[in-house]
């Protein structure tokens, strides 16, 4: 399978780290990379889990992410649907959006009842 152009920077990082090497138009693990694959995967999974609760940076809200509503600023975190808030100043808005994000990712949610069924639906727009 040919490597996509958009994936090349990632492969270059893996080559620089000694994990992979070019093999014609494809890439393969180095001996060391193959021997350490479980350790590397575990490290990556740990990093992803730690970063899962680090909210996207709300310190630089774009014009499209915030509006003025009377005396209040209202805004949303563009990267995460459903995270929105308000504040009397832009600083307070940023702080409130950060808090809203943290609440969204840390709250306990009850699971669907066992009798719930999944149904795939196609929608044309």
Q: Is the pLDDT of residue 46 over 70?
A: yes
pLDDT tens sequence across 19-45: 889 888 888 889 988 888 888 888 877
Q: Are 117 and 103 in contact (CB under 8 A)?
A: no
Give the Cβ contact number of residue 75 at 10 Å: 23
Query: Does the pLDDT at position 63 exceed 60?
Result: no
Task: Say what the pTM is.
Answer: 0.40
Percent of the chain at pLDDT > 90 equals: 2
| Tokens 């719930």, located at residue | 116
Confidence of residue 109 (pLDDT cuts 50, 70, 90): low
Q: Are the C-beta atoms of 100 and 77 separated by less than 8 Å?
A: yes
Beta-bridged to residue 76, according to DSSP, are: 84
CA atoms within 13 A on the CB side of 112: 5
Q: Which residues pair with 69 in a beta bridge?
A: 72
HSE, CB side, 13 Å, CA atoms: give it for residue 62. 5
């Amino acid at each position: 399978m040919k490597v996509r152009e958009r994936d090349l920077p990632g492969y270059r990082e893996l080559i620089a780290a000694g994990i992979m090497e070019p093999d014609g138009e494809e890439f393969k693990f180095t001996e060391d990379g193959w021997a350490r694959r479980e350790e590397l995967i575990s490290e990556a999974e740990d990093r992803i889990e730690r970063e899962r609760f680090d909210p996207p940076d709300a310190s630089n809200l774009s014009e499209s992410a915030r509006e003025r509503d009377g005396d209040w600023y209202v805004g949303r975190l563009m990267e995460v649907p459903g995270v929105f808030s308000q504040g009397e100043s832009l600083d307070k808005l940023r702080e409130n959006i950060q808090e809203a994000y943290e609440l969204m990712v840390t709250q306990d949610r009850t699971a669907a009842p066992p009798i719930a069924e999944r149904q795939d639906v196609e929608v044309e727009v």
